[in-house]
Structure 1
C-alpha cells in the first residue's frame, strides 16, 4: 500500500525551524514587556510622590527650577527639594505632613560646608552618602559613613542645617 503524496508530506516534514525561532522571539518579547511593566508598577508610587513634591515646591515653596529631590525617612517621611527661585538664588524646601519649610541655602550649611565640618570631626572616614533631611523637629543633614574600613562598620551622624552643629550619632550594627 502506498501513501498518498499528502500523507507523505505530513510525515516527513515537521514544524519548520523559522516557526520555532518566531515563537522564541515572541516569548522573549513577552518577557521583556512583562519585566518593563513590573518595574514601572513597582516604581509608580515613589515616582508619583516625587512629582507631587516637585509640584508643591514649585507652587508653594518659592522654587522656579528644581535641581534635586530627596526622600528622607527617619522620624517622619520628608521630601526635600533643592532648586533656585525666580531671582536665581539657591533654595531648599522641606515638605512634611505638617507643612512646608523653605529656606535660602545661604541661611544654612550647604553640602560642601557640611562635608568640611564632618571632616573636622571624622578625619579619614569614608562618606557613604549625604542627605538633607529632618531630625529632632528641625532641618538637618544626614551623613552615613564607614567608621572602620577593616570591618566596614558604619554610622550615621546628624548635623543641624542652620548652625552645622553635630546633633547625634547612630552606630549601625555590623556583621
Structure 2
C-alpha cells in the first residue's frame, strides 16, 4: 500500500512539473511579442492620447506596425497605428519619433463589424480566416486573409471607406 501511495505522489509531482515547465516555456517564447505589444500601447498613450485599450493587432506586411484600438480622453473610440523598427537580436521597438504614429477616430473609418459585413456582401461564401488593420503601400487598410474553398487569398480594404484597394494575392495550394 505504501508503494502505491508513493507512485501516486511521484506521478502527481511529475504532472505538476510538466505543467509548470510548459508554462515557463510558453512565457519564454512569447516574451518578445508581449514586450512589443506593451511598448505599442505605451507609445499610443504617449503619442495619440489613448486612455484605455480594447484590442491590439500586429501587422507585418510592408513594415512592422502594431495597431491599438481603444478610447481617448473624450471617450471616443480610436485606432492608433504605431510603426516599429527592427532591432537585430532584440524585440522590435517603436519608431523613435511620433511622426509615423497615425490616429483615426473609429467613427471616421470602417470598424471591424462593418468591414466584416462589407466582405460578406462582396465575397459570399468566403471564409474569413483573419481580418486585421494594417498598412499597405502607405495606406491604412483592413487586411483580409480568406479561403474561398479552392485557394487562400490576401486582399486589402481602405480603412477610411471600406473600398477594396484592388490588390489581391493568391496563395498557392499545397
TM range, normalised to the smaller chain? 0.7 to 0.9
Q: CA RMSD in A?
A: 2.0
Q: For residues 41 and 17 of structure 1, what CA distance do their matches in structure 2 show?
A: 36
Q: For residues 127 and 22 of structure 1, what CA distance do their matches in structure 2 show?
A: 47
Q: For residues 124 and 27 of structure 1, what CA distance do their matches in structure 2 show?
A: 48
In the TM superposition, what whole-angstrom CA distance separates every residue of 1:115-171 from its partner, at most 9, and x where no partner exists?
333234323322222101111012110111222x2x4x2111101112323121111
2:16 aligns with one of 3, 23, 29: 29
Q: Which has the larger radius of gyration?
A: 1
In the TM superposition, what whole-angstrom CA distance separates every residue of 1:78-129 from its partner, at most 9, and x where no partner exists?
1000011111111000000353111111222222332333234323322222
SS at match of 2:31: helix
Moved more, 49-58 or 119-128: 119-128
Q: For residues 45 and 173 of structure 1, what CA distance do their matches in structure 2 show?
A: 31
Which of structure 1's runs of 4+ aligned residues deviate more than 6 A? none
Q: For residues 22 and 116 of structure 1, what CA distance do their matches in structure 2 show?
A: 55
Query: Unpaired segments of 5 or more residues in structure 1?
Result: 1-14
C-alpha spacing 1:122/1:26, structure 2 compared with 1 (3 Å): closer
Q: For residues 104 and 46 of structure 1, what CA distance do their matches in structure 2 show?
A: 26
Other-structure match for 1:125? 126
C-alpha spacing 1:130/1:17, structure 2 compared with 1 (3 Å): same
Other-structure match for 1:43? 30
Q: For residues 82 and 156 of structure 2, what CA distance do their matches in structure 1 show?
A: 19
1:63 aligns with one of 50, 72, 83: 50
Q: For residues 136 and 123 of structure 2, what CA distance do their matches in structure 1 show?
A: 20
Calculate the TM-score normalised by the size of structure 1.
Answer: 0.81
Matched, 1:171 2:170: yes
Other-structure match for 2:156? 158
Total equivalences in the alignment? 159
Calculate the TM-score normalised by the size of structure 2.
Answer: 0.82
Other-structure match for 1:137? 138
Query: Unpaired segments of 5 or more residues in structure 2?
Result: 85-94
Moved more, 73-82 or 49-58: 49-58
